[in-house]
Structure 1
Amino acid sequence: MGQRVAVAGVGMVPFATPSRSETYDVLAERAVRAALADAGIGLDRVQQAYAGYVYGDSTSGQNALYRVGMTGVPVVNVNNNCSTGSSALFLARQAVASGAAECVLAFGFEQMRRGALGSGWDDRPSPFDRFDDVLADADPAVPMAPRYFGAAGQAYCETHGMDPAVFAQVAVKARRHAANNPYAVFTDQVTVDEVLASPHISGPLTRLQCCPPTCGAAAAVVVSEEFARRNGLRADVVIAAQAMATDTPSSFGGDPMRLVGYDMSRAAAQQAYEQAGVSPEDVRVVELHDCFTTNELLSYEALGLTPEGTAEKFVADGDNTYGGRVVTNPSGGLLSKGHPLGATGLAQCAELVWQLRGQAGARQVDGVTVALQHNIGLGGAAVVAVYEKVG
């Protein structure tokens, strides 16, 4: 696509557990207003809007945006499971890059209920029937997401001879990073022993290795560089590349690691690197989809941050945190910041923009010029984006 796309403004609200949250429309309004204020424009300048959410009635995006203003801007509602927020951003960027619009808003929100994720419809075929067929011997009493990601983690340990306790180190790192994030849900520190002693969920997963149900909202204003120039907006952070991939037959070939999106994450990452003209070695900070500790570790390899089969060493050497090769999830990630499905991808965007601007406070990673975003939704969609600091 022809036009380079800048992120002119980002905003989000502190994430919260369902018992402590405001309603989705209030959350979304606050996030959108923050993004518009950060960009320095009003809603009247926005030409299109993409609203991401999973749990809610149709046109909830309009209902939320109307609290900011009724400008007549077209609103498209997006649902792509856990990659919903980044899917909304993918469409917004595409609109600007293609020249269809110059200023587009992407926002995501979720008002979640307590407990594990589940299907809202039991009278029609489920998109997860294929997943259950692959794991036909798994305990059906375990909720679907930890069942899938627990099996993937177990498969990794068996394939590479890794001690499952390595996964617990990822949870400890997430809490350590979240301690510096005022938007995060869980900031109390934990030890490996505490993580391993928390209630068992599935495979190598314990409760402290699973992301919590979360409510929240985040937003981004994306613009063409020409629009930014004409209107005096900042354009120092650009989305240099963005790719979305979905399942291929390999996802359902019997390997639990591929069932949870390894191949589509790898395909999207390779496309994004090629589009941006960068390599994994250029990336200093990444916000990746750590819905479970097992998936963070798998994603290190799927994204090319470390060669296949070397994630244990990557963790042991501290290459996934400050002082290492690439800081993964400085925000605390889904594990500790929280995972309001529709907001997650846009919260990742906000964190990376702040990092590239040098506005991340105590979370700031030194010398960031290239950053990577990774967001997956089973069923499936993986979105990977490369952000660059320019100017």
Structure 2
Amino acid sequence: MTPETVTRAEPGRPAPPAGAAHPPPWQVKDEPIDSVGVLLSVLILVAVLHRQIGHLLADPRLQTWLTVFVSVMVQAVPFLVFGVVLSAVIAVFVPRSFWARALPRHPALAVPVAGVAGVVLPGCECGSVPIAGSLIRRGVTPAAALTFLLAAPAINPIVLTATAVAFPKNPEMVAARGGASLAVAVLMGWLWLRLGHAEWIRLPHRPHLDGLPRMEAFWSACRHDVFHAGGFLVLGAMAAATINVAVPQSFLHHLAGQPALSVLALATLAVLLSICSEADAFVAASLSQFSLTARLAFLVVGPMVDLKLISMQTGIFGRRFAARFAPATFALAVLVAAALGTVIW
């Protein structure tokens, strides 16, 4: 008898005979759910309920919801994959000693260096979250890794170029966005050094990569981070789509006429819409009824705090971290953007 054929009887039931050709009916064999089986089940369900689904999809509000959800996912997934791959490269191929040489030893000096390093990463916020988690695993001080997380999506060349194209008549918007975003990232890093606690960050369990061959460890890290971060990205995209359908446009027009509230309104809207940082400048430019200061707040807050980012930060760093880091980042970003916008415009 091979080990695979040995079964364990349930409590209170007789053990199956040794020579039995078939297991008794009460014996249940644990088998993982096959993805093909799940797909076939979904297809059968769609075939049975196709009329009900067709009527549901005809609803304009649902069509808007699907459009927003798909657009958020299409924008975010390529950069999420890029970030996951780069995160796996950092985790597997970059030795810990590299970070000791690349960053200043003093954490307070490592924070601004990490912020400026965000210029070289042509990605968005979805990719920076897993990268920051990998940096912390490789021994980088959390304050520096979190500064990189906030700076990279907002000050990289692709984002700044898109901002220049979106605001051709206001070239100062590029410098304002880059300067305000870098200031918020560095200030948040220093704030973490002062008030942060290591126990607030709970990185998810992952395989012991150092004990595996490099390529096997690389693919293991990629699979783990894609499924872990990707699930929270889907939840964030669903929440953003729901907000887009639920918030009436007339409400936004009313707020635009109140300068004191317009900054906070667009900052909150950036959180709710969850637009990728490579595309948010064009959305901000279209909100012409709002002041440039309010639109600057939209551009500074969006790449640092939005629904999909909060979801992903919860998945990568833990709920205790996200519950503290996201509100603090939002408040500081609004204050810096409002102050800088008031000075410039």
**TM (normalized to structure 1)?**
0.23
Structure (1 or 2) with the greater helix fraction? 2
Larger Rg: 2
- Say which structure, 1 or 2, has more relative contact order (CA 8 Å, 6+ apart): 1
Structure (1 or 2) with the greater strand fraction? 1
